[in-house]
Amino acid sequence: MTDRTTSDRPIRWGIASTGTIAASMTQALQTLGGPSGAEVVAVGSRAQSSADEFAQRFGIPRAHGTYDDLFADPDVDMVYIASPHTSHCEMTVAALRAGKHVLCEKPVAVNASEARTMVDTARREGRFLMEAMWTWFIPAIVDIKRRIEAGEIGRLTVIESDFGITVVDEGGRHRRIDLAGGALLDLGIYPISLARFLTGNPAGALTDVRALARLGPSGVDSTLGGVLRIGDDVMSVFHTSLDATSTLRATIIGSEGRIDIDPPFWFSGGFTLHRDGQPSEHVALPNEGLAHEAAHAMERVRGGHLESDVIPLDVSIETMEILDEIRRQVGVTYPGE
């Protein structure tokens, strides 16, 4: 198969699914047009009517009534997997085997075993694969990491973060055990990933994790709190919930100051820097949402790389291992595990 993604022509995207996040990514990609940018050329869904409606809404040339048809489309170079995470592994493997590069929404899978299958397939097929953890590419978060590494708040000590939203529908996917629901995989992954990113994401540096949870009627975690110990120096304290809406804030505490990230922390537009003995400073850094991660993924593909250098594939596997361990501790097991 000829790979045109290393040329100066637009990378042609296919969108797999037609939900809210698929719409957001399509809009983001359409801001990255131009000769060496992105072109959304196809969308796929389980229902032809859904694909047709999405294509008409966003001016997409081709609409496929099955995902296999999308993956087989010869004019698609790269696929964005936007389905619920219970389908991520199956769909990603199918797209990779069809010769497509893949950007897969977070969490990359339901568990670490699925993530390893996806990564093994990408490496065997020689295709690019990346988890779409957009927080790691948001300008404010990138700048905070730079300031931490420059020592602006001294030695990093504690990271506090919370992500809770009220989800009352017991029949919705967030509260269904058969759909790998619960607060942890949908929401709690953000505090955990933030801590990993801001600590430099050292491989194997997580030395301990402890968690407690309240389980809902179906057996998913409805409210969960935890502590990660990263290396010898940093504690990450977080809580996540489907039962109540939290502050959606994050605070980074160092030996000589702290950084308060404006909510919602996972795609923040700024932060306040507090340094001991100095006036506080608010820094505004607007963002372009999902466009940052998409631009990075295309840059890596054009460079002939098979994974991101910001969120490497082994990092995504390690994140799933952390989530697996937390679920083990609180007693959440999904069907088929």
**For the chain, which domains are there?**
11-134 (3.40.50.720), 139-286+320-330 (3.30.360.10)
In the beta sheet, which residues pair with residue 42?
A: 14, 62
Stretch (H or E) spanning 317: helix 313-330
Taking only the tens of pLDDT, the chain with its 337 residues reads 445 565 678 999 999 999 999 999 999 999 998 877 999 999 999 999 999 999 999 999 999 999 999 999 999 999 999 999 999 999 999 999 999 999 999 999 999 999 999 999 999 999 999 999 999 999 999 999 999 999 999 999 999 999 999 999 989 999 999 999 999 999 999 999 999 999 986 666 677 999 999 999 999 999 999 999 998 889 999 999 999 999 999 999 999 999 999 999 999 999 999 999 999 999 999 999 999 999 999 999 999 999 999 999 999 999 999 999 999 999 999 998 9
Dihedral sign, Cα of residue 115, residue 119, residue 125, residue 128: positive
3-state SS class at 106: coil
Say if CB 69 and CB 44 are below 8 A apart. Answer: yes
Q: How far apart are CA 17 and CA 19, in angstroms?
A: 6
Query: How confident is the model at residue 166, as a pLDDT?
Result: 98
Taking the C-alpha atoms of residue 85 and residue 80, their distance in angstroms, rounded to an integer, is 13
CA distances (Å), origin 57, targets 49, 68, 307, 311: 12, 22, 31, 32
Q: Could you report how far apart the first and last alpha carbons of the chain are, in Å? A: 36
Question: Helix-strand-coil percent breakdown of the chain, rounded to 5?
Answer: 35, 25, 35
pLDDT on residue 205: 64
> What's residue 193's pLDDT?
96
Say what the pLDDT of residue 34 is. 80
DSSP tag of 84: -
Sign of CA dihedral 43, 46, 52, 58: negative
CA distances from 299 to 128, 295, 303 (A): 11, 6, 6
Please tell me what DSSP assigns to residue 2.
-
pLDDT of amino acid 35: 76
The long-range contacts involving 4-7, CB below 8 angstroms and separated by at least 24 positions, are 4/77, 5/77, 5/78, 5/101, 5/301, 5/302, 6/301, 6/302, 6/303, 6/304
SS3 6: coil
pTM of the entire predicted model: 0.95
SS3 state at 262: coil
Rounded Cα gap, residues 71 and 50, in angstroms? 17
User: Within 13 Å of residue 61, how many CA atoms lie on the same side as its CB?
Assistant: 9
If you write DSSP's letter for every residue of 271-313 in order, what string do you get? EEEEETTS--EEEE----TTHHHHHHHHHHHHTT-SS-SSS-H
Q: Which two tokens stand for residue 9?
A: 């022509």
